[in-house]
Amino acid sequence: MTGRTAAAEGASPPVEQEMEELFYQRTRICLWMGVVFFSFFSLLDFVHCRPFFSLFFFYRLSFVLILLGMLRLLKQPEVKRHTRPMMFAAMLLGALIISLMTVKLGGFASGYYVGILLMVAGGFSVLPLTVLQALLLGGSMYLVYALTVFLGSPPMDHRAMIDVVNNSFFFLSIVIVTTAQCFDEIQTQVRSLRAKKSLQAINRELKHYTGNLESLVKQRMELLEESDLKFRELYNNILDLVVLIDPTGTIRMINPHGAHLLELSPQTLQGRPFADFLPPRDQDMLHGEVMDRLRRGERVRGVQMQMLTYQGQPLEVELSGNTVAMPEGDQCCQLIIRDITATKEMEKRVLESRQLLDTSRQAAIFGLARLAECRDDGTGAHLLRIREYTRILAVELAQSPQFAPVVTENFIEDLCLSSLLHDIGKIGIPDAILLKPERLTVPEFDAMKRHCEFGSAALASAEKNSESISFLRLGQEITRFHHENWDGSGYPHGLAGEAIPLSARIVALADVYDALTSSRPYKPAYSHTQTRQLIVQDSGRRFDPAVVDAFLKREHEFQAARKQSATALRAS
């Protein structure tokens, strides 16, 4: 058995080889994404920096041709083993191209460096990188950006130094956050691959032990009436627990392997109630569902339950059974019980790994969202309040027949997670505008409006690198449309009514409530009563009336959430 199992395991590639194959497949995805997005962002060049459009188009076209050349080379088997250096070179070259554009647009004062941050966030979330690789690659991309802009720009003044510090802070923050995500993902990938191989090995071993058990049992049962000796031989040689119980549940016969599992001899077990080796909940299942079906002549298959050995050790088992006629003419129940404890333990570990991955992803998402918020809200309390207000509104809307088919539990969970990302596009807004203590001028406000498009584009890129993560799709809707108004007077597209996604309509009210009840350099915080009055006045103009009704039904919960946040801040 050991030789066959080892041979079977040797036929499958090792974990390291599968990780290299995964890196190769995802490198091709990243290179194609680079081809598409570097070409697509020529539209941004045309709108944002038309005087340099021809030069920037030449830069982008050259880089796209290099990426296409890499994709063609990677089809060659002898080049495939150089996938990592080629991918790292492509990332560094992309950083250089964007840095050259940044030089033309004002050096460190230009927000075009956000393109490199998108490359880091997108590439690191797709590629299975180790912590060392992520840090080296991220640090190298930062050096390419910093040196290129420094050498290509005039001598720096005080303002330029502020821009250097600001850009470096966000660049290195993105690298650190994405490196943490890389560590979590590669650990999860390795654990998943090892768990998969362990499960495969267990299944192969179980198959070897049991063989064609069902056909063997059927054949032997057909010969049962011919010889009691053949009947007993079958039970003595089967490697699963096989037990015969009479209609009262008393053990009539048990095979040696089954007796060994229960830690008693076959002779000691005969005459004992089978229920003695079951926990109370499974005793009810045996005497109820299982025995009733067997008495009706039905076959029982795949019933999972728990057994207890003589010493009280739990065993996870899978039970199948049918009725058989004994040579004496009695009707008994034959139960074939397979020990699946090892399989259940492996399934539990895989589940725990997935739960850990979900927790780590949520932490990473909150960290990314705070990168945008911490420039004007270092506590992160705004994000937590928005998430709580969003949950309150969504739970109330779920009670309405109009919204119940859409606002499901999964929708609410994804909505609350994606609401954290509503202003992530602010990372592309210059500090001079974002942190201005006075009200913005018209040109400044037009620039501020672009955070909707920046955020949506970043999340769209991340979604293409993911495995159909639903909250990223909601995040795109929220970041792009949470400043649209019900009457069509909002931005960036002037959508009206139900043309605005429901997710954005919900977060819009939550965002405005928090903004009004929070103090700003240019205004004091409004009371809940004042804020409520303004929201009601804007029902049907700025806000969806249905969302306003949900707010009014749950306004006391808004007040409680606001007070709880204030108390937590004072305590900290």
* Banded pLDDT at 220 (limits 50, 70, 90): low
Residues 7-14: what's their mean pLDDT? 49
Higher pLDDT, 258 or 380: 258
Neighbouring CB atoms inside 10 A of 490's CB total: 21
Given pLDDT bands bounded at 50, 70 and 90, which one contains residue 4?
Answer: very low
Name the burial class of residue 124, with classes exposed (0-12), middle (13-18) and buried (19+) by CB atoms within 10 angstroms of its CB.
buried
Q: What is the pLDDT of residue 124?
A: 79
Instruction: Return the domain boundaries, the chain.
Output: 2-201, 213-339, 359-571
Q: How many helices (H) and strands (E) does the chain have?
A: 26, 5
Instruction: Look at 405-409, 428-432, 522-526, 543-547 and tell me which has the smallest mean pLDDT.
Output: 428-432
Residue 146 in contact with residue 139, Cβ under 8 Å?
no
Residues 6+ apart with CB under 8 A from 107: 149, 152, 153, 154, 160, 163
pLDDT at 327 over 70: no
Buried b / exposed e along 500-525 (16+ C-beta atoms within 10 A): bbbbbbbbbbbbbbbebbbeeeeeee
Identify which of 4-8, 187-191, 535-539 has the greatest average pLDDT. Answer: 535-539
What span, in angstroms and rounded, lies between the C-alpha atoms of 348 and 196? Answer: 13
Higher pLDDT: 450 or 247? It is 450
Candidate ranges 60-64, 354-358, 457-461; pick with highest mean pLDDT = 60-64
Q: Tell me what pLDDT residue 226 has.
A: 53
Q: How far does the chain reach from its first CA to its final CA, in angstroms?
A: 62
**Per-residue pLDDT at 354 exceeds 80:** no
**196 or 549: which leads in pLDDT:** 549
Predicted local confidence at residue 537, as pLDDT: 95
Cα distance between residue 500 and residue 489, in whole Å: 12
**What does CATH list as the number for 359-571?**
1.10.3210.10
On whether the CB atoms of residues 480 and 455 are closer than 8 A, the answer is yes
* Rama region for 240: left / alpha / beta (φ>0; ψ in -120 to 50; rest): beta
pTM here is 0.42
Residues in the chain: 572
Per-residue model confidence (pLDDT) at position 251: 84
Which residue, 361, 416, 418, is CA-closest to 392? 416
Across 532-559, average pLDDT:
95
Record the tokens describing residue 340, joined without a space: 């699946």
The least confident of 186-195, 293-302, 418-427, 554-563 is 186-195
CATH of domain 213-339: 3.30.450.20
Asked whether residue 203 carries a pLDDT value surpassing 80, the answer given is no
Residue 173 has pLDDT above 60, yes or no: yes
Residue with tokens 């809940």: 528
Q: Please determine, for residue 369, whether its predicted confidence score (pLDDT) is greater than 80.
A: no
- Percent of the chain predicted with pLDDT > 90: 18
More confident residue, 48 or 392: 392
**Mind listing the pLDDT tens digit for each residue in 94-127?**
889 888 888 888 888 887 878 888 888 787 777 8
Span 33-74, pLDDT tens digits: 888 888 888 888 888 888 888 888 898 899 889 989 888 888
Q: Per-residue pLDDT for 535 more than 90?
A: yes
> Residue 58: how many CB atoms within 10 A of its CB?
10
**Mean per-residue pLDDT of the chain:** 78
CA angle 129, 130, 132 (to 5 degrees): 120
Q: What is the pLDDT of residue 446?
A: 85
Query: Residues 548, 424: contact at Cβ < 8 Å?
Result: no
**How far is Cα 162 from Cα 335, in angstroms, rounded to an integer?**
77
Q: Where residue 210 falls among pLDDT bands split at 50, 70, 90?
A: low
31: exposed, middle or buried (C-beta count within 10 Å: 0-12, 13-18, 19+)?
A: buried
Whether the pLDDT of residue 22 is over 60: the answer is yes
- Identify the CA nearest to 120 among candidates 133, 105, 107, 102: 133
pLDDT of residue 211: 52
For residue 552, CA distances in Å to 2, 369, 557 come to: 69, 28, 10
Is residue 300 classed as helix, strand or coil in its secondary structure? strand
| Higher-confidence position of 416 and 373 | 416
Would you say 336 and 244 are in contact if contact means Cβ atoms under 8 Å apart?
no
Per-residue pLDDT, 218? 60
Structure tokens at 114: 């956000």
Which residues are within 8 A (CB) of 304 and not within 5 positions of it... i.e. 6 or more apart? 316, 317, 318, 319, 340
153 token code pair: 């720009």
Nearest to 477 by CA among 498, 455, 446, 450: 455
Q: What pLDDT does residue 370 have?
A: 57
- Nearby residues of 562 by Cβ (< 8 Å), 6 or more positions away: 385, 517, 528
For the ranges 59-63, 380-384, 474-478, which has the lowest average pLDDT?
A: 380-384
Span 313-324, average pLDDT? 81
Residues 6+ apart with CB under 8 A from 308: 277, 278, 279, 314, 315
Q: Where are the beta strands (DSSP E) in 246-313?
A: 251-254, 300-308
| Res. 541 pLDDT band, cuts 50 70 90 | very high
Structure tokens at 128: 């299975």
